[in-house]
Structure 1
Amino acid sequence: MTITTFLQHLAPMRLLTRGAGYLAESRIPAIAQPLIRAFIRQHGIDLSDALRSTPSEYHSFNDFFTRQLHPEARPLDKADWVSPADGIVTQVGTIEATQLIHAKGQRYSASTLLADPALAHYLEGGHFTTVYLSPRDYHRVHMPCAGRLLSMCYVPGKFYSVRPDIVQAIDGLLARNERLICWFQHPRCGIFVMVLVGAAIVGSIHTTWHGVVNPAGKRRIKRWWYRDENPSLCFEQGDEMGHFQLGSTVVVLMPKAAVSWGETWQVNGAVKQGQAQTRMHA
């Protein structure tokens, strides 16, 4: 165990996350602007593709961190599935018949990750990928394909960092952290899932249809079902579906189908939102 991993177990991550959330929401310029400018310097962030391109246009750190981009900044590739976010691909693989997802050097169960053994069983033989959003990345999450929202499940959990080295060091970390699980119906190939995994210093997870999903003090599993044909719950490929306040990870679980990964879709490779992920064979 490295010293960084050891500190993850010792540090009061929930308290630190809550404190960071208060600072990140502050709209006092004397607090917000130094935080924003220091973050830009530390991570070398380029605001040229953002709708608001100067730090002074942002009213809080979270306002800056969840910044929107120009519509043309992330064109969609012509593909059946595209990346839901900017980030690093940390895992690509299949959901095995044992309902275990392979991670580098470890395994963790799809049923635990999804908090639903029956729905995990439905995805046996399917495919999954994990995208890590580093602090410098664009932090809005978009639809990898078209889909209609079926259900959403909030699962409370730990607040470990989701840095790739720490994910590899702590068994089943993604299935232990706080997360939001969203089930969608694909127009042609069945149900697919997007899991938004919270992490250290992530103040909240926000969806376009619900707003903030994990308000402070709610420490129990909660489910929502969307059974009607509400047009607002039907999404096109590339539509925004949510965002993180501070960095985290997105796991996409796809139904069983013959797919080939895009040429640039490699573990440890950088991807942009809208970049071709897979192409499905007829």
Structure 2
Amino acid sequence: MVLDKIKIGLQYAMPKHALSRLVGKFAAAEAGWFTTQAIKYFIKAYDINMDEAKLKRPQDFATFNDFFTRELEDGVRTIDDNASTLCYPVDGKISQQGDISQGQLIQAKGFKYSLQTLLGGDETTAAPFQDGKFSCIYLAPTDYHRIHMPMDATLREMIYVPGDLFSVNPLTANNVPNLFARNERVVTVFDTAAGPMAMVLVGATIVASIETVWAGTITPPAGKDVFRWHYPASGPGSIHLKKGDEMGRFKLGSTVVSTFGPGMIEFNETAGPGTVTRLGKHYADVVASQPEIDAEES
């Protein structure tokens, strides 16, 4: 369609970083009445279910970011506590999921992208996930925007990868090659009892920043360099997270791409592209437990 081509062309032409940082400044501002009115508009425009939120009134939020990353009411989401299953890490919708084949992930019909590029360009980081599985979940503006752990895990590496800030909605995913491997992103790599897991938090147009619970705001740093942080498997400085624990959040939405080692998990057979996800529900099954990686402390 001509309109779709125009929208995609505008994505390439617009100053995405400048626009995103400008929106980010507003979203972080305590602008009183103006902030409250913006929140009211957003709730109405996207039919946000505030009954699920711990704070329910627009005036309860000092900033738009506080509203967008709002906490849920206790008990609204139940975490599947079966040790042999993974739970969905977010509310959203599955874009694609399946096998990582020849180092490639499926983005959309006719588009694939590189596992190694997605994970920051280092062959050593990507190697444990070759021939494994991946899942890509898109968070719409209406969704809850905190990200939780699908299983118990120990953090081993975090990587900030600079890049573009294309929108990550279905239209863009179907038309912009290498979308998730070209956008700004934060890669988190974990050890689990079943094998390696990575969760990639992908930035997008007007995503003001990405945060993790252990490091706070990761984006936007200055410059165009890839940054890497390594964490020990045990002892001081180690970070262990339980299934269902919050691990990060998006300020103004995006996508989570998860990757798993070969032979590690099988996805819920009733779910696939287009499936609506809810935090805590059955995501996948552990195929066979493996010893945790006994890597040298970094």
Give the TM-score band, short-chain normalised.
over 0.9
* SS of match in other structure, 1:81: strand
Q: Structure 1 residue 54: deviation in Å?
A: 1.2
Q: Structure 1 residue 121: deviation in Å?
A: 2.1
Q: Structure 1 residue 72: deviation in Å?
A: 1.1
CA contact (8 A) 1:23 1:31 kept: no
* SS of match in other structure, 1:158: coil
* SS of match in other structure, 1:196: strand
1:42-61 superposed matches below 5 A: 42-61=45-64
TM-score, normalised via structure 2 length? 0.90
Q: Give the match for residue 74 of structure 2.
A: 71
- Mapped partners of 1:123, 1:266: distance in 2: 20
CA shift in 2, pair 1:175/1:211, >3 Å? same
CA contact (8 A) 1:260 1:279 kept: yes
1:17 corresponds to which of 17, 20, 38:
20
* SS of match in other structure, 1:154: strand
Deviations 1:8-52 (A, max 9, x none): 001111111011011111112122111101000100001111110
Letter in 2 for 1:167: A
Q: Give the match for residue 83 of structure 1.
A: 88
Letter in 1 for 2:152: A
Q: Does 1:219 align with 2:224?
A: yes
**Structure 2, gaps ≥5 residues long:** 289-298
Q: Structure 1 residue 101: deviation in Å?
A: 1.1
CA contact (8 A) 2:155 2:238 kept: no
2:275 corresponds to which of 248, 261, 269:
269
* SS of match in other structure, 1:130: strand
1:99-138 superposed matches below 5 A: 99-104=103-108, 105-115=110-120, 116-138=122-144
Q: Structure 1 residue 83: deviation in Å?
A: 0.9
Q: Structure 1 residue 231: deviation in Å?
A: 7.5
CA contact (8 A) 2:88 2:277 kept: yes
CA RMSD of aligned residues (A): 1.5
- Mapped partners of 2:125, 2:283: distance in 1: 23
Q: Structure 1 residue 71: deviation in Å?
A: 2.9
CA shift in 2, pair 1:75/1:205, >3 Å? same
* SS of match in other structure, 1:174: helix
1:144-155 superposed matches below 5 A: 144-155=150-161
Q: Give the match for residue 252 of structure 1.
A: 258
- Mapped partners of 1:261, 1:217: distance in 2: 38
TM-score, normalised via structure 1 length? 0.95
Q: Does 1:197 align with 2:195?
A: no
Q: Give the match for residue 187 of structure 2.
A: 181
- Mapped partners of 1:172, 1:101: distance in 2: 10
CA contact (8 A) 1:155 1:178 kept: yes
Runs of 4+ displaced beyond 6 Å: none
Q: Does 1:235 align with 2:247?
A: no
